[in-house]
A and B are shown apart, each in its own frame.
Chain A
């Protein structure tokens, strides 16, 4: 397998790992934190138009981060597929008769 292609595939997988790690961090820490914000901002804590707006905006923020997490995972998947293709291509090239 050519060294250059191997390095490219590894780099793509590393990037995918980084993106997945970020997605996990956003999911397990930040989205959970935002969930707690909404939980602690209920009617028993404060009520009125402003608290309603607060809850709405935090919900929108949660959705936006959810989408960002999905995007990160999709990007990671794409990178991993590209890495797989490079590997396959490299393997196929390596298997050709000289």
Chain B
């Protein structure tokens, strides 16, 4: 077995040293015939470094074949031949490119040294920072604004010239190494204009970001840290947020502090994180690799304080990103490679923050359009038991966390209402994927047919923003039961609309006259009993898919165990 491993960021330092050494060796020269051998030796070593080892190191940086974050601690071992193949190809291409450009065969003209490009880009960055500061001082400075636009065009043109010198044989991805020699701000300014593939963009961004966070060679912070407007992180995050796959790949490589203690503007962090961890972009395990370290870091370090480059709304941003993956903080914690208790601690930490609760409720509301993509029923019509268990578990977990934290504010109630609506919506969609699904715009409840909305309104459970929500809570006492009522009503309502059930079907579900909070009985248990009886009564009339969805809802939200928890 062959052991391979590397630290991506130390490897970049090695690359930098190899380049410096090769550059110095290139300047070795002498007219003395007795120095011919020594000069040849120096140039041979230069070629060795420039043609063999720079591309080899670059290939590892670009391909990142072991694929993980670049911490020294993550120095992984694995067996692979992909890495050596990529490196060999990179070496061959570099030799051909070098020979063609030095022999005059390169159409783009003689190759400009990376150092020269880096100096050019640095000068652009210096001028742009000056102009940026002028605009921070006086946003109406039209001359500065015009100069900025002209400078940006100049940067774009220079970036195009730089990229045109890249090898174009199509076999080897180009790695813009000059950007790693330039200042991070310069690199970020040029990066926007280079048409890099997602992986290369992510790799370069991660290296630039690490260099920016760690300061210049003498440990000093980079100049853009001290001026107004976008800093390096803002620029990079905006570029990445427009490229979701690159954003995800970058987030996998970046450390939490590089995400949360970097950008001047919280919106750039929010966009990056939400885009890069969206279920449309990453799978569950990848989302965990990104979000779990962030949540752990936040709990350990607390919310970043109010200094430049700190993400002050970090809990709300993290909550918004986590919302599609709520179950991974509870019932599905193992999928994120942590325990239920770890996830629950993180959830409670988030729910303690009012802005995070609001962000989570907004996130759930935004998710509603995607509900129909979540298959609650298997293709053969059976209920996906695991999914239903996860939904119910997550619901109970959030409810318990809010209750334990004694959070009784409107936003906590709103969060539970959203969770109830989404969960019920999923059940309704599963049972009636192509039925006449209506939209209760007034109460913000998607997926409910008009007949269902009428019934819910009659019982006071339709979650209107204010009164109905409170009435529902007083009447039924528990959001899980609300969810069951909503889902059952929605499913049956859809079947009525499709003409599969009689129009007065929902009248059979009697929910008036409950014990209520001051009554002798327990409202949740009474509602649960009535729902079970209603579903059993309908069994002969409903098709298997509808019936299975109804049973799933009862199984998840109105089972004897949940009744006992609420009533005994």
**A11-38 at interface with B (beta carbon < 8 Å):** 15, 18-19, 22-23, 25-26, 29-30, 33-34, 36-37
User: In the docked arrangement, what's the CA distance between A46 and B37, Å?
Assistant: 33
Given the complex, which residues of B lie within 8 Å of A22, measured CB to CB? 28, 30, 35, 38
CB-based contact B34/A44 at 8 Å: no
Given the complex, which residues of B lie within 8 Å of A33, measured CB to CB? 17, 20-21, 24-25
Give chain B nearest CB distance to A32 CB in angstroms: 9
Given the complex, which residues of B lie within 8 Å of A34, measured CB to CB? 21, 45
Contact A18:B30 (CB < 8 A) given known A46-B7, A71-B38: yes
A-B contact count (CB 8 A): 110
Give chain A nearest CB distance to B180 CB in angstroms: 14
Contact A30:B34 (CB < 8 A) given known A45-B11, A48-B2, A48-B4: no
Assess whether B526 is interfacial by the CB under 8 Å rule. no
Interface pick from A1-9, A49-57, A89-97: A49-57
CB-based contact A71/B17 at 8 Å: no
Give chain B nearest CB distance to A12 CB in angstroms: 11
Q: Interface SS of chain B: helix, strand, loop or mixed?
A: helix
**A34-79 at interface with B (beta carbon < 8 Å):** 34, 36-37, 40-41, 44-51, 54, 57-58, 61, 64-65, 67-69, 71-72, 75, 79
CB-based contact A64/B13 at 8 Å: no
Assess whether B82 is interfacial by the CB under 8 Å rule. no
CB-based contact A44/B3 at 8 Å: no
User: In the docked arrangement, what's the CA distance between A58 and B84, Å?
Assistant: 18
Taking CB as reference atom, which chain B residue is nearest A70? B38
Assess whether B297 is interfacial by the CB under 8 Å rule. no
The size of the chain A interface, using a CB distance under 8 A, is: 36
CB-based contact B6/A47 at 8 Å: yes
CB-based contact A50/B56 at 8 Å: yes
Given the complex, which residues of A lie within 8 Å of B20, measured CB to CB? 33
Given the complex, which residues of A lie within 8 Å of B5, measured CB to CB? 46-48
CB-based contact A37/B17 at 8 Å: yes
CB-based contact B38/A50 at 8 Å: no
Residue of B11, B21, B34 near A15 (CB, 8 A) is B34
Given the complex, which residues of A lie within 8 Å of B3, measured CB to CB? 47-48
Which 3 pairs show the lowest CB-CB distances between chains A and B?
A46-B6, A48-B4, A68-B38
Taking Cβ atoms with an 8 Å cutoff, the residues of B that contact A are 2-7, 10-11, 13-14, 17-18, 20-21, 24-25, 28, 30, 32, 34-35, 37-38, 41-42, 44-45, 48-49, 52-53, 56, 60, 72, 75, 77, 83-84, 87
Q: Mind listing 10 A-B residue pairs with CB under 8 Å?
A: A36-B17, A40-B13, A46-B11, A48-B83, A50-B56, A54-B53, A64-B41, A64-B44, A65-B45, A68-B41
- Other CB < 8 Å A-B pairs besides A19-B35, A40-B10, A50-B87, 15 of them? A18-B32, A19-B30, A22-B35, A26-B28, A33-B17, A33-B24, A44-B7, A45-B7, A45-B11, A46-B14, A51-B6, A57-B48, A57-B53, A64-B44, A71-B38
